[in-house]
Structure 1
Amino acid sequence: MGLTVADVKRRLREADEREFAVLERALVADSRKGVRDAVEAARRRIEAEAAERARLEGLYAFERELAAARGGGVVVGLDEVGRGPLAGPLAVGAVVLPDEPKIAGLDDSKRLKPAERERVAVQVRKTARAWAVEYVEAREIDEHGMTASLATAFRRAVARVEAAGVPVDVVLLDGNPLRFDEREVNVVKGDGRCASIAAASIVAKVERDTLMCRYAEEYPEYGFESCKGYASPAHIEAIRRYGLTPIHRASFCTAVSQPTLF
């Protein structure tokens, strides 16, 4: 082909699946080590991209199957973030996605690095037919308990989606049954299996993390920017030293708390 190794590497880096197949055939007799290494690297990249496309399609296809089993229609995915922290609200995300365009990188929020979550969250907000994040504050959690708080937040989130003009036929809920809505369909580990639940987990996580960083400015002693309200050693030590803030869940802190200083 008269190409330098550098030329080959560049073309292989830029090649899609069809172009790679053509290049691979053309380079089959090229024994230069740099070329062989570049072909193998491109093959691995192409295979990884194909696997990711299949995974992403599976998220959407599984969701379509669940909806079809309930007669079809508009699907809203729900997920919660912040069930276990000592401080900060419970957050619930609700997302209605179109089947196209598919959102690259969509996955369970726990599997994504923070920068990738931020990127995907932006795409979810741009692409979704409707989305919402609802909070239940610490005092409500203390008063009503977590199960009731979850049901309240999910109801609020679905109501906001429908108030935006998107009537919902099927409610896909990550985890175990709450029976808060007759349209409810439960999907264990749904944030890694259903597109709209994954999207809900991401927007809820990003919104809650942003809120906890704002609380870190108001209550700098507790390190909320890093622990996000969870029971890190530094956070526990801060509770013992400074007491509880208004955003702490007192019922979660009985083993470590001093009387509130706020």
Structure 2
Amino acid sequence: MITLEMELHANGYSYVACIDEVGRGCLLGDVVACAIIMPKGLHIEGVKDSKKLTPKKRDKLYDIILDNCIAFGIGRIDSSKIDEINIKESTREAMKLAIENLVDKFGNRIVPDYLLIDAEKINLSIPQEGIVKGDDKCHGIACASIVAKVFRDRLCLEWAKIYPEYGIDRHKGYGTKLHVEAIKKYGVTPIHRNTFLKKILDGKLK
């Protein structure tokens, strides 16, 4: 099967960066994006949309992807910035940071010559294409989704140590019943996204 990445490589693009994010719908914590450049022709068995993988499988693939990639970068936008500029703009900013943070295994900055982005457009002059459901259709975007997901899940484990009563290690910041009940019982933490909580708190958020 001829993939989009293969077509781009055949057309002379050397560094095709694939970008995805995780945490857009969470009630707390950063939105995290990953930009990754995979070698030409490499297809890692088992890679697909991170949401369709078990945590154990994601962890295993995370290591394989980072061992084999040409370069990767992570971008993070925290909850206070999300409240300030909204989640859509924060997602785009995280993606932009991830691209700017692309480095190879030796720490050298790598500038991509084409971007494949999961359902977004980024304000950069680099040629790009947004792909709806990109983590299902594009191997590189699926790789980026796995790296972003594992990276953010590990952040959640650190946040869970700071705020143990909220169960962050279990719900990862999403609006589960456990999480909502914890917010109502214990209040709002500094890492919650206040603009996401107004309905939950029935307009009582200060």
Taking structure 2 as the reference length, the TM-score comes to 0.90
Structure 1, unaligned runs of 5 or more? 1-57
Size of the aligned set, in residue pairs, is 200
Larger radius of gyration: 1
Give me the CA root mean square deviation: 1.9
Aligned equivalents of 1:255, 1:115: Cα separation in 2: 34
Matched, 1:164 2:112: no
Q: 1:75 aligns with which of 10, 16, 34?
A: 16
- Does residue 118 of structure 1 match 2:59? yes
Paired position in structure 2 for 1:62: 4
Per-residue CA deviations over 1:231-261 (Å, capped at 9, x if unaligned) read 011110111111100110000011223657x
Pair 1:184 & 2:128 matched: yes
Aligned to 2:73, which of 132, 149, 160? 132
Letter in 1 for 2:99: V
Contact 1:83 1:90 in 2 (8 A): yes
Letter of the 1:249 counterpart: R
Matched, 1:95 2:36: yes
Task: Give the superposition deviation at 1:131.
Answer: 0.9
How far off is 1:67 after superposition?
Answer: 5.1
CA contact (8 A) 1:79 1:197 kept: yes
Task: Classify 1:61/1:259 alpha carbon distance in 2 versus 1 (closer, same or farther; 3 Å).
Answer: closer
- Which string of whole-angstrom CA distances, capped at 9 and with x for unpartnered residues, describes residues 46-95 of structure 1? xxxxxxxxxxxx4x7332224556x5221000001000010111010111
For residue 156 of structure 2, give the secondary structure of its aligned residue in structure 1: helix
Q: CA deviation digits over 1:22-53, x for unaligned, max 9?
A: xxxxxxxxxxxxxxxxxxxxxxxxxxxxxxxx
Work out whether 1:250 is the aligned partner of 2:191: no
Question: Which structure has more RCO (C-alpha within 8 Å, separation ≥ 6)?
Answer: 2
1:216 pairs with 2:156? no
CA distance 1:230–1:224, change in 2 (3 Å):
same
Q: CA deviation at 1:165?
A: 2.9
> 1 or 2, which has the higher helix percentage?
1
Q: Find the counterpart in structure 2 of residue 144 from structure 1.
A: 85
Gaps of 5+ in 2: none
What's the counterpart of residue 25 of structure 1?
none
1:200 aligned to 144, 147, 152, which one? Answer: 144
Mapped partners of 1:179, 1:106: distance in 2: 25
Instruction: Tell me the amino acid that sits aligned with residue 250 of structure 1.
Output: N
